[in-house]
Every structure is written in C-alpha cells, then in structure tokens.
Amino acid sequence: MLKAIQVRVSQGTQYIPDPRRADPRGFRGAPLIAAGECATDCHACVDACATQAIELDPLRIDLGRCMLCGDCAAVCPSQRITFDSRYRIAATDRAQLVLSASHPEPDPITVSAALRARFGRSLKLRSVSAGGCNGCELEVNALANVNFDIGRYGIDFVASPRHADGLVVSGPLTRNMAQAVELCWAGMPEPKFVVAVGACAISGSPFDGADTLDRSFLDRIAPTLYVPGCPAHPLTMVCGLLDLLGIRT
Amino acid sequence: MIVADACGLVPTRDLVAQPLERMIADCANAMAGGDRLCSLFGRACAGDLLVTAILQQSRHGFAVLRGRAPAGSRYPSLTPQFPAAHLVERELFEQSGLTPDGHPWLKPLRFDGAQQGRMHTYPFFSVRGHDVHEVGVGPIHAGVIEPGHFRFMCHGERVLHLEIQLGYQHRGVETLLLQRPVRSLTPLVECIAGDSSIAYAWGHCTAIEALSGATLAPEAERVRGVALELERIAMHLATLAGLATDIAFLQGGSSYGRLRTAIINASMRSCGSRFGRGWLRPGGVRCGVDDLRRQDLLDTLAAFAHDIAEVNALMLGARSVRSRFRGTGKLSAKAARELGLVGLAARASGVAIDARADLAPMPYAERPLAVLVEEDGDCLARARLRMREIDESVRWLQQLLAAPAGVLADRASLAPIGPLRGDAIAIAMHEGCRGQVLHALETASDGTLLRYKVADPSASNWLGLALAMRDNDISDFPICNKSFDLSYCGNDL
C-alpha cells in the first residue's frame, strides 16, 4: 500500500486544468488560409490532397474532409496555407467547417439551451466505431484518461446504448456495420443525439465514394456536433462538448 | 520462382506463370523447406486469374511464385499440410473465387463484395451436447474499441471453442489504393490500421521508393526508425493500460495511460500528430529531428524510463496481477508456429520472429535491436514482453538520439520520386507494434498500379487468440483479447 502511494506521488499531477486554454505544442491543427492570390493556374494543393478537401477560387479547405496531414501546405508555392495548433474547431453546423481566408475558423459553438437543461450536469455517451481505424477510437478513449479526465464535467462513456444520451460515431460507416449502428441508435432512449467524430465520420474522408460504405444513417440523423480531425484531438472533442452544453471550466 | 533483389523488387517479365496446381505444389515445396508464405493474391488478366505467392525465404529476403488459372478454378489446399496457409487461402477464395479443395474452414475473412452486410447469414461452428451453451458478443463491445463478433461455445464457464467473426470494419482499402492517385496515397495508407500509421507508411514509402529507384538519405531512414519505435512504445502502453484496467488494477491503468500521453505528445511535437501522421512520405521524412527536438525527445525518454520502471515494478510486484495473468490464455510455441503467428504474439510464445532483425532494414542494420522472447505464451508473457520491448525501444532510441549531430536528418529530407518502374512487383515489410506489415505493389508496363496487396499482422494472429481461449473461463476473454491486442481494421482492410 505504501509503495502504491509512493508511486502515485512520484507520477505527479497530470490533468489539464482548463481544456479550453490548453497548449498542445506542435499540434498540426486547423489550417490557416492567408488572403491573397494563388499563382496563376496553380492547383498543387488540390492535387496533393488525399481527400478532395480543397477547392479553389477562392481557396477553401473543408475541415469535414481534411485529414490535417499538411501535404497541401508543403506544396503551395505561394505559402497561402499554414497549419497551427488551434484545436477548438468543432461545430454544430456542417457548413461552418469550410474554412477560407475570410472564415478562418468555425464560429464559436452556441450553447444549446435544450441540451444544457437535459445533459448539462450529466451526459452519457456510447461510442460506436464503424470502420474507424482505431485512431479516433484511441482518442475517444483518451478523454477518460487522467490527462483529459472528461468525467470531471459529468461526461462519461457507457457500455450500453440503453444508458446513453449521445451516440459518438467514428469511422466512415461501413456497410458491414450499418445494421449494428441502427440497432444501437434504436436501443437508445429519447432524447438523444449524434456526435460525428473525425473526418471519416463527417464525410467518409479518404474512404468517400467506396462501395463498402453505407452512410444512410447519418443522412437521416444529422449530427448535433461535428468534431473534425484525423484523428480528432481529444481537446477538440472535449471543448466541443463543453461548448455545446455550456459547461464552465 | 524469382528472388526479389535487395530493394524488394521482382521484374514480372521474368516471372513465368505456371498452371495453378503446379505453382501450389512449388509453394508447398518451398514451405516444406522452411519458407514462410506471407501472401497469396490474385488479379484478373485476360479472362484468367493471375495468382501471386510471396514467400519469405528462411527469413531473409523474398521470393515470388506466379500461377495462372481460369476464373472459378479449384486447386488442392495447402492448409491440411501447412495450417498457417488457412488465412491466405481463405482470402484468395474470397477475393478471387479460387477454391482450395480440402480446406477445412473456408469462412469469409471480411465479408467483401456481394457478401457485404450479410454477416448474420453465416453459419457458425456449433457444439452440441448436454449443458452446452453459446454466448455471442459484439460487434459493438462494452468499451470504446473497434467492432468484431465473438461467439463462445461454453460448457458452464469453460470455453470449448471461440469463433471470431470479423469484417465489420471492411472499407475496401485495396480497391481504393488502385483508384486514387498514386502520388497522394500515404494519408490513406496511414489509416489502414491507424494505430500503426508509421509501420504502414514506412512500408508504402519503401515500396514506392524501390519502384521509382529513389535513393534515400540514411539520415531520413534513421528518423523513420525513431518514429516507429515511438509508435511501438505508445501502442504497447495502450495495451498495458487496457490490461491493467481489465483486471481492475486501476493505478496501473491510469499510470500507463498518462505515460502513453507523454510519448504520443512527444511524437506530436516532432511531427504535428500524436499518431505520427504526415511524418513519413515517399522519399524520406517531412519532419526532421533537429537539436531542439532531439533534446526534447531525450528529456521525455529519460523521465519516461524512470516512471515506467516504477509502474512496471508495482504491477508485476502485485501478487494479484501475476496470479490473474499466469497460465491464462496460453498458446504453445507449436501452435504459434503451425498457425503462422507473427510479431509480439508469436514472440511471447517463444517464436523468435521480428522483421527488424530478420530483414534488418536501415537503421536496424547498423544499430541492431534485441529480439526479445518469452517462453510461456500466456497473458503474463505477453504483458511482460511488452514491458521488455518498451525498455529495449527506449534504450535503442536513447542511443540513436545521443549520436553526434548529423546522424539524424534535422529537417525535411525528401528524395525526388520519379516515374514508377513498369512490370515489377515491389515488396516491403516492416515490423510494427503487432508484427510485420507487408505491402506488395505490382505495376503495369506504363508504371500504373495493377494490384496493391496489404497483409496485416493481426490477420495472421486472430486464430491464435481463438485457440488461446480454449479451456479458459469466459471471464478470461477480456484479458486474453487485450493481451493479444490485435487490429480489427488491419484484418478487415
């Protein structure tokens, strides 16, 4: 017992005091698009992008597709694209995720009064991976570790859909998981909502267009919260949820 | 049979396609002589199917065999003689429709094509008898993990047999890799099994570099080694955290979890991503390890080495932990060898197989890493081996990072990638956290890709988990599963 206490003391305090003011040093987060003109007829960034996240005239990057890989920034001859460590990029409106020089990041999330009243002090989430590569799944898991410690805000991941208020979907939604996702959703009591975690869940991202996907669930049930990233950073998730529910830190 | 050159290249013009039966007989001969069958795959060619077998020769280098058969042909199965072939024959059957006569269990690997969404129609193996009952778990599990279905056939608490059904994660990766521009495939490759981004990206890069004849700076290959060992440490920690949590040793769970944070955040400071995404690209690395990052990594590892030693001692020192793990989920060396297990799961059963030593690519050729083995093949062996491999990776990293300046690329180092060579197969293999990841790319005469074959270590290992569960209690399953910690999407592709 004494040894256990000794180890605990020695491992130190690890939690992030305020996720809204964290400093994920080095994180390649949101792309920043500089104002100005592209080189004539240049589409190097579009060619470099693995997920067709970029459109030109004017230059726009869709965070709902973007893997934050940075390949576009590396090839841009005009240095119009840079990535910085901004992580508060979740949104409740899909259109907010399309960034441009005049819309450098998604607008701050408006607190949902209805969700806040219901879940502001206790939110139970059920995670379902439907083709997720274990990147987003590990990051969802990390929310519960001692660093991010989402439990301190009354948010927990639960084992059964019966106990869940929100469904956290990761992965591009494979056809082989379509039935299980439907069953899970049907098993959740009302009121309930969907959180799409990661570029795959939001748009299919690199898997978009594959004949192995069945995204009809998300076509019918629009997510309440979109959490971009590849994988989504735990800070993006936790801040998105805190902002949606108006939880103070 | 043609042996691949040092770059892993085989010119397909020299590769004579034999009748399929003949090729399978040659394959059997090679396997009887000690070669390992790593992959067996087909592609359509003028109404026929061209079948390619990739063999690893006595663990040094690769050889390729090619056969040809009309669509829908049958051939004598290799599996009765070499059980390790069960997987690649099932895969060939599912992908190309060639039937191995005498195969004991032609279950679809991932419910591809017309089988999509029809997982529920598959007839499971069933055990009959008084008091025998079945327990079905998944595809959605209690925790936050990938989906898969486990069907236990039990007598009381005792598991007689476990049948594993995968495929829920099937995204059609191999098809997509042919449809997308070859120059921007790496981000997709990085999420084939996204917790092994580095191992996957490295293999892809090696194959593309071989096909384009690019010469890589050794300084860049060393940075890739740094990236891969950081990934291995991080994933072993994720497993140890899960194992500790599954036996309610919560202090271990929390401590391994936070130690993993320290490692993946160090990766992030080096390359921008906690999973090493975007670090490797064909031609080299997009981020180097300059003096600042070098010192940062050394500081991180020094603090880490101290802290993990404490936690390991606490965990292994607890009698409750040892008693729960010892003897649970035992897999013999014989079974591991016969089933063709690879990576950590094989090494924990006494089979010394590790591509870092067997193939010794740069930088492992100049700085060898010890191949560690445990003999017992139980959960304790797999847990302890992860701890020892973490220590060995830390030692290796500290040595490499302490080398004089200039040994590691200190900035982006990307050799230009020219046009891809035509009529060739490029084979690349790297040892990820779970075992060897194989890429095989075949080009047409104009250099476009004809086939992109991926072989994940987990695919080879899932049956090992099923066998390890026999005669254990059903309540042992979570720790057995976690001790193997296999990838679902790596199997499902």
- Pick from A44, A75, A100: which residue ends a domain? A100
Nearest CA in chain B to A214: B117
Q: Looking at CA atoms only, how far is residue B246 from chain A in angstroms? A: 14
Interface residue B421 vs chain A (CB under 8 A)? no
B281–A230 C-beta distance less than 8 A = no
Interface residue B136 vs chain A (CB under 8 A)? no
Q: To the nearest whole number, what is the mean pLDDT of chain B?
A: 95
B274–A145 C-beta distance less than 8 A = no
Question: Is residue A165 within 8 Å of residue A124, measured between CB atoms?
Answer: yes
**pLDDT tens for each residue of B200-220:** 999 999 999 999 999 999 999
Residue B129: count other Cβ atoms within 10 Å of its Cβ: 8
B195–A11 C-beta distance less than 8 A = no
**pLDDT tens for each residue of A85-140:** 999 999 999 999 999 999 999 999 999 999 999 999 999 999 999 999 999 999 99
Which position has the token pair 């490499």? B400
A211–B143 C-beta distance less than 8 A = no
Please report whether residue A7 resides in a domain: no
B168–A174 C-beta distance less than 8 A = yes
Q: Confidence class of residue B122 from pLDDT cuts 50, 70 and 90?
A: confident
| Together in a domain, A143 and A194 | yes
| Together in a domain, A80 and A131 | no
| Together in a domain, A146 and A207 | yes
Q: Which residues does B491 contact at the CB level (< 8 Å), separation at least 6?
A: B109, B110, B166, B169, B456, B458, B459, B462
Which position has the token pair 């994660």? B169
- Pick from A42, A65, A100: which residue ends a domain? A100
Residues 14-33 of A with CB under 8 A from B: 14, 24-28
A206–B176 C-beta distance less than 8 A = yes
**pLDDT tens for each residue of B339-392:** 999 999 999 999 999 999 999 899 999 999 999 999 999 999 999 999 999 999
- Pick from A43, A78, A100: which residue ends a domain? A100
Residues 273-312 of B with CB under 8 A from A: 273-275, 277-278, 281, 286, 307, 310-311
**pLDDT tens for each residue of A205-220:** 999 999 999 999 999 9
Query: Is the model's pLDDT at B488 over the cut of 70?
Result: yes
Q: Looking at CA atoms only, how far is residue B66 from chain A in angstroms? A: 29
Nearest CA in chain B to A46: B184
User: In sequence order, what are the beta bridge partners of B51?
Assistant: B42, B67
Q: Which residues of chain A neighbour B192 with C-beta distances below 8 Å?
A: 133
What is the predicted pLDDT for the residue at B118? 85
Q: Confidence class of residue B142 from pLDDT cuts 50, 70 and 90?
A: confident
Distances, alpha carbon B427 to alpha carbons B10, B19, B63, B64, B86, in Å: 8, 23, 10, 10, 22
Q: Which residues does A128 contact at the CB level (< 8 Å), separation at least 6?
A: A167, A168, A169, A170, A177, A180, A181, A184, B140, B147
Residues 80-109 of A with CB under 8 A from B: 83
Nearest CA in chain A to B190: A133
What is the predicted pLDDT for the residue at A7? 86
Burial grade of B43 (CB within 10 A; 0-12, 13-18, 19 or more)? middle
**pLDDT tens for each residue of B260-313:** 999 999 999 999 999 999 999 999 999 999 999 999 999 999 999 999 999 999
Section B471-476 average pLDDT: 94
What is the predicted pLDDT for the residue at B94? 93
Interface residue B170 vs chain A (CB under 8 A)? yes
| Together in a domain, A52 and A171 | no
Q: Give the integer Cα–Cα distance in Å for B172 and A212.
A: 6
| Together in a domain, A67 and A118 | no
Interface residue B139 vs chain A (CB under 8 A)? yes
Q: Are strands B436-443 and B449-455 parallel, antiparallel or unpaired?
A: antiparallel
Domains along chain B with CATH numbers: 2-112 (no CATH), 198-461 (1.10.645.10)
A27–B272 C-beta distance less than 8 A = yes
**pLDDT tens for each residue of B2-56:** 888 888 999 999 999 999 999 999 999 999 999 999 999 999 988 899 999 999 9
Residue of B94, B137, B171 best to disrupt the A interface, most CBs of A under 10 A: B171
Q: Which residues does B114 contact at the CB level (< 8 Å), separation at least 6?
A: none
Q: To the nearest whole number, what is the mean pLDDT of chain A?
A: 95
| Together in a domain, A173 and A206 | yes
Please report whether residue A18 resides in a domain: no
| Together in a domain, A125 and A173 | yes
Element (H, E) at B51: strand B48-56
What is the predicted pLDDT for the residue at B316? 95
Please report whether residue A5 resides in a domain: no
Nearest CA in chain A to B139: A180
| Together in a domain, A93 and A117 | no
Q: Which residues does A34 contact at the CB level (< 8 Å), separation at least 6?
A: A79, A80, A81, A82, A101
What is the predicted pLDDT for the residue at B59? 59
Q: Looking at CA atoms only, how far is residue B1 from chain A in angstroms? A: 35
Q: Alpha carbon B176 to chain centroid distance?
A: 20
Q: Confidence class of residue B138 from pLDDT cuts 50, 70 and 90?
A: confident
Q: Give the integer Cα–Cα distance in Å for B135 and B101.
A: 31
Interface residue A49 vs chain B (CB under 8 A)? yes
Pairs of residues, one from chain A and one from chain B, whose beta carbons lie less than 8 Å apart:
200
What is the predicted pLDDT for the residue at B434? 97
| Together in a domain, A240 and A162 | yes
| Together in a domain, A234 and A207 | yes
Query: Is the model's pLDDT at B60 over the cut of 80?
Result: no
DSSP B323-377: HHHTTTT---HHHHHHHT--HHHHHTTT----HHHHT--TTTTTS-------SS-
Interface residue B168 vs chain A (CB under 8 A)? yes
Distances, alpha carbon B357 to alpha carbons B65, B360, B440, B456, in Å: 25, 5, 20, 18
Interface residue B147 vs chain A (CB under 8 A)? yes
Q: Give the integer Cα–Cα distance in Å for B437 and B493.
A: 12
Q: Which residues of chain B neighbour A212 with C-beta distances below 8 Å?
A: 112, 116, 170-172
Q: Give the integer Cα–Cα distance in Å for B6 and B62.
A: 9
What is the predicted pLDDT for the residue at A9? 87
Count how many domains chain A has: 2
Please report whether residue A81 resides in a domain: yes
- Helix, strand or coil for residue B441? strand
Give which of A32, A68, A26 is closest to A50, Cα–Cα: A68
CATH code for position A90: 3.30.70.3270
Nearest CA in chain A to B279: A69
Q: Which residues of chain B neighbour A146 with C-beta distances below 8 Å?
A: 254, 257-258
Nearest to B140 among A7, A184, A233 (CB): A184
B168–A176 C-beta distance less than 8 A = yes
Interface residue B488 vs chain A (CB under 8 A)? yes
Q: Which residues of chain B neighbour A24 with C-beta distances below 8 Å?
A: 265, 268
Nearest to B117 among A14, A26, A175 (CB): A175
Please report whether residue A221 resides in a domain: yes
| Together in a domain, A123 and A186 | yes
Please report whether residue A2 resides in a domain: no
Query: Is the model's pLDDT at A154 over the cut of 90?
Result: yes
Nearest CA in chain A to B183: A48
Give which of B393, B457, B468 is closest to B193, Cα–Cα: B457
First CA to last CA distance, chain B: 28
Tokens of A55: 């459109």
Sign of the torsion angle spanned by Cα atoms B472, B475, B477, B483: negative
Q: Give the integer Cα–Cα distance in Å for B491 and B168.
A: 10
A14–B258 C-beta distance less than 8 A = yes
Q: Give the integer Cα–Cα distance in Å for B308 and B255.
A: 8
Q: Confidence class of residue A54 from pLDDT cuts 50, 70 and 90?
A: very high
What is the predicted pLDDT for the residue at A8? 86
Give the torsion through C-alpha atoms of A125, A130, A136, A139, to 10 deg: 40
Q: Give the integer Cα–Cα distance in Å for B384 and B317.
A: 12
Please report whether residue A61 resides in a domain: yes
CATH code for position A191: 3.40.50.12280
For residue A72, the enclosing domain spans 31-100
Residue of B140, B259, B300 best to disrupt the A interface, most CBs of A under 10 A: B140
Please report whether residue A129 resides in a domain: yes
Query: Is the model's pLDDT at B65 over the cut of 90?
Result: yes
| Together in a domain, A73 and A139 | no
What is the predicted pLDDT for the residue at A1? 79
Q: Looking at CA atoms only, how far is residue A53 from chain B in angstroms? A: 13
Query: Is the model's pLDDT at A12 over the cut of 90?
Result: no
A127–B169 C-beta distance less than 8 A = no
Interface residue B178 vs chain A (CB under 8 A)? no
Q: Looking at CA atoms only, how far is residue A99 from chain B in angstroms? A: 20
**pLDDT tens for each residue of A168-197:** 999 999 999 999 999 999 999 999 999 999
Residue B46: count other Cβ atoms within 10 Å of its Cβ: 6
Interface residue B398 vs chain A (CB under 8 A)? no
Q: Looking at CA atoms only, how far is residue A9 from chain B in angstroms? A: 11
A134–B487 C-beta distance less than 8 A = yes
Interface residue A160 vs chain B (CB under 8 A)? yes
What is the predicted pLDDT for the residue at B465? 96
